[in-house]
Amino acid sequence: MEIIDFHTHLVPANQLNPHMTEFFKETNPEFIVRVSDFDDPKVTVELFKNQGIKYAVVLAEEAPATTYNVPTEQVLEYCRGQDMLIPFASINPNSYPEPAKRLTEYVTEHGARGLKLLPSYQFYYLNEASLYSLFARAQELKIPVLIHIGSSMFKGTRMRYCDPMQLDDIAVDFPDLNIVMAHSGRGFWYDECFFLSRFHKNIYMELSGLPPKNLLDYFPELDKNGEKVIFGSDWPAIPRDISENIEAIKSLPLSDKTIEGILYKNAERILFG
């Protein structure tokens, strides 16, 4: 079976905030040891191929106040010439007078294939005017928007900004924009995310950061939503190989169609039309 990983990061260790370095040393020491190996995209591509992955989305993260700053330019450069790596831009709309213009440049001139937003790390509500201009532009450019929706352990996070119910309006106001909820409400918004993704044709759930073995506890009717759920690993911030998570999803009591949808087809539709 072919696999698309919709959520991986480029995280050079020397670009982490000091409190994140401490956090990872405590929770996932392997991460700090190995992460610099993957500063070289060829090493990453090799690893992904060995895990059975055909394409991987690589996320920029412009969030120096909470996690780290890996600008879009760095991710675009990293993915250049590597067909399997799909770069997503990160734009903090608070930081630029014309964020939509910036998005256009990243997509039309430099090859970004999607936009990642981190409202709880970048501090804005999704219905602010600057956000609406970004959503309108993403819809015009026909790129998906991946939005961090869920709790985090990182210092400085302001979770109220990523309440998924905000997406109810965005989905209606931008009917041709594909909206993907990274982490699917991790912590306390599982029901909201499940409902929103069933109700709105353009809202999807993405599973990074959720232990596969618990998925049916969080989403007991997952099989009914098989066309709206997407696999993401959050590599390299996971304490094990990606293939273990892939195998764990394959072994869930779900239909073959749902599993194929989660691991490949739903992401393929969004990324390649």
**Contacting residues toward Zn ion, per CB under 5 A:** 234
User: Shortest gap between Cβ of 270 and Zn ion (angstroms)?
Assistant: 17
Nearer to Zn ion by Cβ, of 194 and 235: the residue is 235
* Nearest of 225, 229, 126 to residue 173 by alpha carbon: 126
Nearer to Zn ion by Cβ, of 3 and 63: the residue is 63
User: What is the C-alpha to C-alpha distance for residues 16 and 20, in angstroms, rounded to an integer?
Assistant: 6
Contacts of 21 (CB under 8 A, 6+ apart): 13, 32
Which residues pair with residue 9 across a beta bridge? 59
Contact between 228 and 204 under an 8 Å Cβ cutoff? The reply is: yes
User: What is the C-alpha to C-alpha distance for residues 196 and 184, in angstroms, rounded to an integer?
Assistant: 10
Q: What is the DSSP string of 88-115?
A: EEE--GGG-S-HHHHHHIIIIIT----E
User: Shortest gap between Cβ of 140 and Zn ion (angstroms)?
Assistant: 26
Neighbours of 155 (CB within 10 A): 13
User: Shortest gap between Cβ of 75 and Zn ion (angstroms)?
Assistant: 13
User: Shortest gap between Cβ of 153 and Zn ion (angstroms)?
Assistant: 12
User: Shortest gap between Cβ of 233 and Zn ion (angstroms)?
Assistant: 9
Contact between 200 and 193 under an 8 Å Cβ cutoff? The reply is: no
Nearer to Zn ion by Cβ, of 161 and 174: the residue is 161
Nearer to Zn ion by Cβ, of 59 and 138: the residue is 59
User: Shortest gap between Cβ of 126 and Zn ion (angstroms)?
Assistant: 18
Nearer to Zn ion by Cβ, of 192 and 234: the residue is 234
- 95 φ, ψ (degrees, to nearest 5): -95, -10
User: Shortest gap between Cβ of 208 and Zn ion (angstroms)?
Assistant: 6
Nearer to Zn ion by Cβ, of 62 and 234: the residue is 234
Contact between 82 and 45 under an 8 Å Cβ cutoff? The reply is: yes
Nearer to Zn ion by Cβ, of 171 and 207: the residue is 207
User: What is the C-alpha to C-alpha distance for residues 132 and 29, in angstroms, rounded to an integer?
Assistant: 39
